[in-house]
Amino acid sequence: MKNQLPYCKTSEAIKGYTESVIAKNETNDCVVRAIASGFDIDYNRAHQFVKETFGRKDGRGTFGFVRGMNKIAEERTRIGRKTCKPMGKPLNERSSFYTLNYDVKVKGEKVTRQMTVGTFTKKNPKGTFILTVSRHAFTIKDGVVIGNFEDSKKKRMRVHAAWKIGS
């Protein structure tokens, strides 16, 4: 379908997800699933990592994820055998936040646009990325969405932050 990105079920993409007792009792765990699928680690290990690193409480969302991921990238912390680096350009010289805004010419005038999920996947067809959109996080691996099924349909959602996962 043209209006939808390829999608892979969480149970197929994340190691140990279907067997995990923790996963069966979890809600609001999009960050845990994004870390597990992005860094290619077991769900339970990702759950523990997010709990320790971001102070996430069971069944609750993860607060301070963008700032925490930027710190992990800056310190080159390894999760599993992989590291991450932020995508985009810094907001300013002293900021630890990055922007994915880009410029286009419309009728001869320069216009700044915000990156959408659809544009992001076109510009980054290969590789593993963790993306945050409004109050949500998911992984894109080689153009395939790993997260909620709805994430693959929402190509026009604005991407707030993204990290490229590498070895």
- Tell me the pLDDT tens digit for each residue of 29-87: 999 999 999 999 999 999 999 999 999 999 999 999 999 999 999 999 999 999 999 99
Q: What pLDDT is attached to residue 96?
A: 79
Residue 109, in any domain of the structure: yes
pLDDT, residue 3, reads 81
Q: Is residue 2 part of a domain?
A: no
pLDDT at site 162:
97
Domain count, the chain: 1
Rounded to two decimals, the pTM is 0.92
Let me know if residue 95 belongs to a domain. yes
- What are the tens digits of pLDDT across the range 84-100? 999 998 888 877 789 99
Examine residue 64 and state whether it is found in any structural domain, yes or no: yes
Q: What is the pLDDT of residue 33?
A: 97
| HEC profile of the chain | CCCCCCEECHHHHCCCCCCCHHHHCCCCCHHHHHHHHHHCCCHHHHHHHHHHHHCCCCCCCCCCHHHHHHHHHHCCCCECCEEEEECCEECCCCCCCEECCEEEEECCEEEEECCEHHHHHHHCCCCEEEEEECCEEEEEECCEEECCHHHHHCCCCECCEEEEEEC
In a domain, 78, yes or no: yes
Question: Which residue segment(s) compose the domain that 91 sits in?
Answer: 7-166
Within a domain: residue 114? yes
Tens digit of each residue's pLDDT (9 = 90 or more) over 110-154: 999 999 999 999 999 999 999 999 999 999 999 999 999 999 999
Residue 1 has pLDDT above 80, yes or no: no
Does a structural domain hold residue 1?
no
